[in-house]
Chains A and B, each alone.
Chain A
């Protein structure tokens, strides 16, 4: 599903040039659950952003379902991203002005799904995430675990092929963290490919494969 060939990402400012990724090559197969690990500043989030088409690599090739997507323009990236990739962030990134239902509905709106269907799918996913009773609450009225469940609901409501999770349990206590990991595992078992960035060995334990990054390079894979 995902194939990266010699991906490089260099951040340039007026004075400094920082190599975030220095020739990363990897593959993620359909239905896999992969964890990306490494110390802070090793390029984990940069890699995830490139995988999620939020950013373009400086050089190298990125194939998503066999199509080269590494050199697309922003508008083209948006088109590819829509409906295919779901995101789960460490800080949830829910929109404060929208309630739970509206937050979850958002990706469907941008996909142009009819209102009736949207409502149905939102209800269904909220039920699945056991957060239906909070449908009309605003993010500030929820606990961290509930917020992350909403964020996952938002990520999966459009049935994406790929879920990218950036430290999904980073802001949660152990109980809520466990729940979130169980949810991601469940989604993976249902066929969704999951790529997760994490610092946590315990969370990485849920993945089928761990990719270790160090100074922007992939260190040899470890089969679990």
Chain B
């Protein structure tokens, strides 16, 4: 056995395996992480998420993935089957904290969590008494990574959030980072629940309203869930203020228990993505193994005599198997080493693509599955060639091996063509869908819009900064706004003055100032725009969209909303808002998280988080000019001016990642297939060299000789590509199921994919056969 002997196709075999393993194992690891999502939850089979259910008069029942703050503790107290319960709610995200010594550090997310948080979401508490800290106002626990960023002894240090500069929080302890594949992975700061009142309205014990809390319970292992369900229903009947609810228009309010076990995989997007990634991974590994075997078969001519001789000398069949297995083992080890190099070289990119780091992808959670996959690859690469070699007749020890095994080789190639075509079809579908999402008409114009997050500034400062930006010659208009259109929007109920009944829930954009309509290119279909505020503040003017008008007509029978007063549940009945204008419907959220609720926004330039800026032209110079102005006015606020289009594109990151993963799979699969095809054609050219020479002597032209090969490949490529397109069509349909707003599958796009694959195959065959077709026939006749 000589692994590195020239002419054994060793490099091709190892390269194919390395490419296949790199892409295949990364994707399998990603799928495994999804399957193992939330492994930090203790006794996951018995942990349930509480979800609020409600129904308004005359409307469909609805379910919401959160509850009011008091629901979880009440259930834990009153329902004996519940072992423990916890709730938490987000507060700050991706901003800076400032320590007493003036050092600043960016964190990912800060949440309020109660003292039972670690009972459900387990991780090592590295410092401090978690129960005590999370029960004490003004105390928090921080993650290990944030603690390492801060450095030194962190316990006892106080800090302030950028958006709450005068409200210090003291670090009481440190917890180990949660795995990246868990819902807690981004939490850097767990603030005690009693601290809530310092930073926000305290609804921690509310039984209705302020339903922003993620609540979880762990049931007793023997709990009868049907019984628990009815107990919860009875409890809610007893404790909820039903008269108020009925006055508010609610006919039913309840609480659903949703098992967290398998919850992730029930998500259509995650589920579909996992299926697609598994298919791509399978394609990659299968293609790589097929290619390995293809090379082995192609090289039979060279090795048959050697193997036959071994058998003549007494080698049993087992020894032949061991020989191929050992070879495959060494090839696999080298391929894995090559894979490690590829992973190291592209680790940042892979992490960005997969949403998790390389160390998590190849961690304890995925180790066993990946080892099993490698073993299967090893067995396929080791056993199948063994079977072929062990069947070589002894007589080949004395003569040239002449069996061409063409059927085998063509079958293996056919598989590769099928799989590559399938991936190309899926790729073209997801590419089209992604482009469609980015170019979809949102109902507003954002090509020239930039924005700056001003959460760290006060209302007065925001107003002044917006006016300063407006004066820049490169700026057309500006508008301060509470939220970006593409963000998830908070919701608020709408009421009529003097009537406690809540009519419907709106996507509440809270406040925006005059200029929003022009800056974002909205169209006012009735009424007028906001009046311009000459000072920081807000008025009771409100803009709504056409959906609001429609809903108001359906629910309250109001035809004309212009000039009418409405109550926003958050602003309160003492400040009724007057509709001054109706804007044409536009897209809130994104195509993935599309908002169908009616929209409302009040006129105000305080209580805003963003300044929207319409530039004369979207150029880096203009962005730079705005950035320089922000830096000059607020050098410590770390304001960052970004194009709005980039923010909108981030809404489709999941789709982009899926697209990129399929792209990598497709390219790698095509590459391996082409390696296989090149090997096959080279082998065929060698095998048929005499025939080609004879044909040439008989008068065949170069094109006629190349046509011979093209025909023989087309014989297998055409049906393979057709099957690949059919499979691609099926998986594309599956992939598109996750999109509410999707492009139809177009037959001509698939036809173009098929033509492209055939063209690539044709070009490879043409180039490979060009040399022999051009060469002097006597060179080949001489060898005889």
Contacts and interface: CB of A to CB of B under 8 A. Distances in A.
Interface of A: 49, 52, 54-55, 74-75, 78, 81-83, 87, 89, 91, 93-97, 106-107, 110-111, 154
A111 B691 contact: no
Interface of B: 690-691, 693-702, 704, 774, 776-778, 781, 784
Given A54-B776, A54-B778, A93 B694 contact: yes
Contacts of B696: 78
- The 10 closest A-B CB pairs, nearest first, are A82-B699, A110-B699, A107-B698, A93-B694, A95-B691, A54-B778, A106-B698, A110-B700, A49-B778, A91-B784
Contacts of B699: 78, 81-83, 107, 110-111
B698 A154 contact: yes
A34 to B, nearest CB: 20
B697 A87 contact: yes
A110 B784 contact: no
A99 to B, nearest CB: 14
A150 to B, nearest CB: 12
Contacts of A97: 691
Most buried by B among A74, A75, A94: A74
A74 B698 contact: no
Nearest to B704: A110
Given A54-B778, A55-B776, A78 B784 contact: no
Contacts of B784: 91, 93
Nearest to A46: B778
A91 B782 CA distance: 10
Nearest to A82: B699
18 contacts: A52-B697, A54-B697, A54-B777, A54-B778, A55-B778, A87-B697, A87-B698, A89-B781, A93-B690, A93-B781, A94-B694, A95-B695, A96-B691, A97-B691, A106-B695, A110-B695, A110-B698, A110-B699
Contacts of B777: 54
A106 B701 CA distance: 12
A49 B777 CA distance: 10
Nearest to A81: B699
Nearest to A56: B776
A78 B691 contact: no
Contacts of B778: 49, 54-55
A107 B691 CA distance: 13
Contacts of A89: 781
A136 to B, nearest CB: 19
A94 B696 CA distance: 13
Given A74-B702, A78-B696, A93-B694, 19 more contacts: A49-B778, A54-B697, A54-B777, A55-B776, A74-B774, A78-B699, A78-B701, A81-B697, A81-B699, A87-B697, A89-B781, A93-B690, A93-B697, A93-B781, A93-B784, A95-B694, A106-B698, A107-B698, A110-B698
A74 B697 CA distance: 11
A78 B705 CA distance: 13
A81 B698 CA distance: 8
A75 B697 contact: no
A54 B781 CA distance: 11
A110 B777 CA distance: 16
Contacts of A74: 702, 774, 776
Contacts of B697: 52, 54, 81, 87, 93
A75 B702 contact: yes
Contacts of A49: 778
B776 to A, nearest CB: 6
Contacts of A94: 694
A25 to B, nearest CB: 22
Contacts of B690: 93
A54 B777 CA distance: 7
Contacts of A78: 696, 699-701
Contacts of B700: 78, 110
Contacts of B702: 74-75
A96 B700 CA distance: 17
A106 B776 CA distance: 19
